[in-house]
Amino acid sequence: MDSEAQDQASQPSPEGIKSSIHTLVSSRISLFCLEVKQALRERCRAITFLVTAALLGFFSWALLLAGSIAAIAIATGWQWHLVALCFAALHLMAAVILVKAAAAAAKSDFIPITRSEFKKDCEWLESLKNKPKSKS
C-alpha cells in the first residue's frame, strides 16, 4: 500500500496542472508583450532618426547636385541637362542597391526569445504526452 500511496501522491492533481498551465501561458504572454513593446520602441526611435536624417540629407544633396551639375557643365562644355540625366541615372542605380540592402536587413528575427521559449514549451509538452503513465 505504501507504493500505491506514493504513486498517487507523485501524480499531479488536475488543479495543479491547470494552475501550472495558467502560469506558463501567462508568463509567455507577458514575455511576448514585453518584447513587442521593446521592439516597437526601438523601431519608432530608429524611424524618427531615419526620417530626420533623410530630410537633412535630401536638402544637402539637392544643393550639392545643383552646384555639381553646373560646375561639370561649365568645366566640360556639356549641356547641363545631359549632366543632370547622368546624375539621375547614377542615383537610380544607388537607390536600387539600397532598397535591396534594406530588404535583406528587414528579414531579422522578430521576438526571438519568445519564439525559443515556445519551442521549448512544445518540446516539454510532447515529452509529457510521450511519458508512460504509471498503473494504479
Phi-psi sector, 122: left (phi>0), alpha (psi -120 to 50), beta: alpha
Q: What does the pLDDT read at residue 88? A: 93
Q: What does the pLDDT read at residue 1? A: 47
- State the DSSP string of 79-96: -HHHHHHHHHHHHHHHHH
Q: What does the pLDDT read at residue 74? A: 94
Beta-strand (E) ranges in 1-136?
A: none
Instruction: Give me the average pLDDT of each 10-residue run along the chain (136 residues).
Output: 56 78 88 89 91 94 93 94 93 94 79 83 84 62
